[in-house]
Chains A and B, each alone.
Chain A
Amino acid sequence: MEAMPRGLKALSWITGALFGVALYMVFFYAPREAVMGEVQRVFYFHVAAGWVGALAFLVTAVAGVLYLARGNRRWDIVAQASVEIGVVFTLINIVSGSIWARPIWNTWWTWDPRLVTATVMELIYIAYLMLRQGLEDPGRRARFGAVYGILGFLSVPLTFLSIRIFRTIHPVVVGNSDPTAQGAFDMTPRMLQAFMFSLMTFTFLYATALWHRVRLGRLAEKVDQLKMKVMAG
């Protein structure tokens, strides 16, 4: 396999540095929240991870459309890479959200529209991977993956909407009555800066991970092709 392109090496280093700065901002630069205490700091990376999950899903859907339109396998590799990254970051989003909720509302789970939608999104991601796994033919895997990616992506906003309407009409009994508040608090300027910086850092992290994972995908494809060639004799 060709050596890592210089652009990727540079990007990886930059992302690493950004991550270091983000950690500093989150732990030291941002002040401690007046009511929730230290756990509020989880919020910065929790939301950033959620953002990456959504972005990854969008990329998968778009890559799926491009694959169906053009038939170029590269788009399929991108779609699959993005799903994997999305699964990981959405999981981070859900679990960190749960950990944040526990001391605030004395419950591990809130039926909040965003948390539920994230979980549904995660289930769709996993279903996507299971669909691919159950198919033998790589062309079919790519096509069906693309179709499911598109369907799944379109359903997520509708899911969010349905639960949002659900909550405005039936506020949850336990916890605060405002269905849109997920631990609402006022952000001071420093908090806002830490928040925006975290978002940017995680976006870089997504791009870097995607590029690496796509390289991995291309290597895997090369290995598969060579395997078939060698076995054919």
Chain B
Amino acid sequence: MFLREAPADTLSYMILGYSVILGTITLFLMSLVLRFRSLARDLKVLEELESK
């Protein structure tokens, strides 16, 4: 009768994998937010200039 082998211990790789996945998504979304804000600021300045 053979004992079933335990699964490999790959927890650290899983954590690494998910850090990369979630980290990248977060960075991308943040970059969208930052670019939005910067453009909105530009728009405000330009609209002021235009009204002058």
> A residues engaging B (CB < 8 A)?
1, 32-42, 45-46, 49, 85, 88, 91-92, 95-96, 99-100, 102-103, 205, 209, 212-213, 215-216, 219-220, 222-223, 226-227, 229-230
Q: How far is the CA of A9 from the CA of B49 in the complex (A)?
A: 31
Given A37-B7, A38-B11, A216-B39: A95 and B46 interface contact (C-beta under 8 Å) = no
Given contact pairs A40-B10, A103-B13, A205-B25, a sample of 15 additional A-B residue pairs in the complex whose CB atoms are under 8 Å apart:
A36-B7, A36-B10, A37-B10, A38-B11, A45-B18, A49-B21, A96-B17, A96-B21, A99-B20, A100-B17, A209-B28, A212-B32, A215-B36, A216-B35, A220-B39
A residues within 8 A CB of B24? 88, 91-92, 95
Shortest beta-carbon distance from B12 to chain A in Å: 9
Q: B11 touches which one: A35, A37, A222, A223 (CB < 8 A)?
A: A37
Given A213-B32, A230-B46: A42 and B7 interface contact (C-beta under 8 Å) = no
* Complex A-B: 16 CB contacts under 8 Å: A34-B7, A35-B7, A37-B11, A38-B10, A38-B13, A39-B17, A41-B18, A42-B14, A42-B17, A42-B21, A99-B16, A102-B13, A219-B40, A219-B43, A227-B46, A230-B49
Shortest beta-carbon distance from A194 to chain B in Å: 14
Q: How far is the CA of A107 from the CA of B4 in the complex (A)?
A: 26
Chain B, interface size: which category? 20 to 34
Q: B10 touches which one: A39, A49, A212, A222 (CB < 8 A)?
A: A39
Output the residue of A33, A35, A99 with the most chain B CB within 10 A.
A99
Shortest beta-carbon distance from B4 to chain A in Å: 8
Whether A37 and B9, one on each chain, are in contact in the complex, defined by CB atoms closer than 8 angstroms, is yes
Whether B42 and A223, one on each chain, are in contact in the complex, defined by CB atoms closer than 8 angstroms, is yes
Q: B17 touches which one: A32, A85, A99, A219 (CB < 8 A)?
A: A99
B residues within 8 A CB of A46? 17, 21
Q: How far is the CA of A76 from the CA of B15 in the complex (A)?
A: 38
Output the residue of B17, B40, B43, B50 with the most chain A CB within 10 A.
B17
